Amino acid sequence: MSPASPFDRPSEGPTFSRVGRSYRAPLLVPKFPPEVPFGFLGRLLPTNEPVELTVEAHPIAVANALELVHGARAVAEAELAAGGNGGHTAELEVERASASELGQAVARRTQELWKVGLRFVVGASTRPQVEARRARLRERLAAIGFQSRIPRYEVRAALVPPELSATEPRPAGYWHTLPTDGLAALFPFGDETVIESGGVLLGLALSDASPVFVDRWSHASYSWGLFGTTGSGKTFAAALTLLRSRWLRPDTSVTVLDPLGEYSALVEALGGSVIRVADEGGSRLNPLDPISTFGDRREKAARVGAMMRALFSSLRDEETAELDAAVSQLYDKGPEVPTLGDLRDHVEQRGGGETRLVKLLEVFRSGSLRGLDGLTTARPTESVVSVDLRGVADDHLPFHLTYLLDWAYGRLAHQPGHKLLLVDEAHLLARHASTEEFLDRVVRHVRHFDAGLLVLSQSPDDFLARPAGRSMLRNLYATGFLRLPEVSAETRAFFGLTDAEAEWLPRARLPRETGYSESLWRVGELHLPLAIVASTPEFEFLEANFAPPSGAPEESPSAPKGSL
Ligand SMILES: Nc1ncnc2c1ncn2[C@@H]1O[C@H](COP(=O)(O)OP(=O)(O)O)[C@@H](O)[C@H]1O
Ligand SMILES: [Mg+2]
């Protein structure tokens, strides 16, 4: 279950901030050693503990930079003239010399000055742990000559995300003035955090086209989310991610829950199989098959309850209770593997006739869902499988997705190796509290089977209204935002988006305009504006195997073709 509501709000101690069981402890470095080697931060940070480093850099206009450098030189000279302040003559000499050297470099434009904001944030799930980790980080910093400082009672000011204007108040030790070389020395680390060896190419930085690789399998959660308006490129980006994931690890198995039937051709092109739910003569997945819960019949009964509520939104409380009771009894006493017809008959027996509930359940016997009444016949053995829901009535989609999620969960639990489960149009599961809770549980538990979800939906707002949805979002390691028509205050606060980011997302360019999609990714604590670009072979392969959603307007035929 998700934590109770008091845990959802960040609370602050004098030296840390806390959300639920996630503690964040900032650390600033007021004083640098006179020289730092390039890439030193990479060696400073542990690979087995979460430490976040934020470096923001703002260029200082040349005229102001020269003024600053001359000012520093004048101060050093004045102090030298006064006989050296407390015996620091040698240090002052160095300062004077480097200020004059820097002044020349700035004047020649070979160096610039930067206003640089720098902070470390240590993460842990308990307070003693976070304090211990920060203490160790301080020791390592001290060992290479950095003076560090805990922003006591200034945690909030230390933790707010960077603003583009760099004018927000920060605790002492946050801001630095550095020449280009000094800033560059901080950089190779920045590279390393987003070039994870063994990772897939997520995209190219919008700022300088540098590639960003993320290794899903090296983080605490293997699940990612992708949000964007219709036509923003979610399905394409997800398909691209699947291709790249399998390219790196060909044994990764993939399951796709495909409400609009867009992935079928791709899955078949990859040698996989497609289960077509609306296809009368096709193979069947029995929604009541307890195999998905390893024969845990009580758990199965609870999931059946959730799927029934997704289907029959008009159920009255007493009908819901009666249906739950009938389902439990069916799993207690009924056949080893019950069918939906069995459920209908059982409800009729208990109620002694044609109640409203029995009439509703008739849909499985003689109505539009009769194709689901029977034992499972689909037993795909391929490592790529999709379930195509094209042709299914809109108001039945949440129901189908729920039992399919249950089935997919069972599949993930049984298969060896790494697994991905893609759920497109996941907002369908956010319509009902019970299905949303189920999705949240799946996202939190699949990690135990070496599996990750790729959750695609139109807006994060779909999931922010309820605790289960927020819990689901919190458990996504990476979240990509493509164009969003608007960014709600809730989304902004939940994901810690800056005003500039929130204002940019409604203007992020669409693939039909540019041939690639513009996106903003939250990877752990990093915020990365990326272009999602396919290489020519990737693009050609996807284009040839991509079915536009049924009924969706055709994309403009003159759209530039995205390729490198
Ligand atoms: N990164 C991309 N590069 C090139 N074309 C893309 C890209 N993303 C999407 N497209 C194209 O744009 C159209 C809409 O993308 P789609 O993934 O279906 O959007 P969504 O799933 O968000 O509704 C598709 O025709 C797709 O081929
Ligand atoms: Mg789509």
Question: Could you write out the three-class secondary structure of 206-263?
Answer: CCCCCEEEECHHHCCCCCEEEECCCCCCHHHHHHHHHHHHHHHCCCCEEEEEECCCCC
Looking at per-residue pLDDT, the higher value among 186 and 383 belongs to: 383
Distance 292 CA to ligand 2 centre (A): 27
Parallel/antiparallel/unpaired status of strands 517-523 and 526-532: antiparallel
Q: Which ligand is nearest to the CA of 516?
A: 1
pLDDT band at 549 (very low <50, low <70, confident <90, very high): low
Q: How many CA atoms lie within 13 A of 454 on its CB side?
A: 22
Position 34 scores a pLDDT of 74
pLDDT band at 351 (very low <50, low <70, confident <90, very high): confident
Position 39 scores a pLDDT of 63
Least confident of 10-14, 326-330, 475-479, 558-562: 558-562
Distance 301 CA to ligand 2 centre (A): 32
With a cut of 60, say whether residue 551 has pLDDT above it. Answer: no
Position 64 scores a pLDDT of 86
- What ligand 1 atom has the least distance to the C-alpha of 517? 1
| CA-proximal residue: ligand 1, atom 25 (nearest) | 555
Position 1 scores a pLDDT of 41
With a cut of 80, say whether residue 238 has pLDDT above it. Answer: yes
Least confident of 105-119, 215-229, 265-279, 374-388: 105-119
| CA-proximal residue: ligand 1, atom 14 (nearest) | 231
Cβ count within 10 A of residue 220: 9
Q: How many CA atoms lie within 13 A of 120 on its CB side?
A: 29
- What ligand 1 atom has the least distance to the C-alpha of 238? 17
Distance 415 CA to ligand 2 centre (A): 27
Mean residue pLDDT across the chain: 88
The finding on whether 555 has its CB within 6 A of some atom of ligand 1 is yes
Question: What is the mean predicted confidence (pLDDT) over 80-88?
Answer: 67
pTM above 0.85, yes or no: no
pLDDT band at 75 (very low <50, low <70, confident <90, very high): confident
- Counting residues of the chain whose pLDDT is more than 70, the rounded percentage is 91
With a cut of 50, say whether residue 103 has pLDDT above it. Answer: yes
Question: What is the mean predicted confidence (pLDDT) over 447-476?
Answer: 96
Reduce the DSSP state of residue 4 to 3 states and report it.
Answer: coil
With a cut of 50, say whether residue 189 has pLDDT above it. Answer: no
Question: What is the mean predicted confidence (pLDDT) over 436-450?
Answer: 94
Helices (H), 249-375: 264-269, 297-311, 317-333, 340-351, 356-361
Which of 202, 229, 234, 236 is the pocket-test mutation for ligand 1 (most atoms within 8 Å of CB)?
236
User: pLDDT of 396-415, one tens digit each?
Assistant: 999 999 999 999 999 999 88
The secondary structure of the chain in percent helix, strand, coil, rounded to multiples of 5, reads 45, 20, 35
Question: What is the mean predicted confidence (pLDDT) over 140-168?
Answer: 90
The finding on whether 534 has its CB within 6 A of some atom of ligand 1 is yes
| CA-proximal residue: ligand 1, atom 15 (nearest) | 233
Position 85 scores a pLDDT of 56
Reduce the DSSP state of residue 12 to 3 states and report it.
Answer: strand
Position 101 scores a pLDDT of 81
With a cut of 80, say whether residue 314 has pLDDT above it. Answer: yes
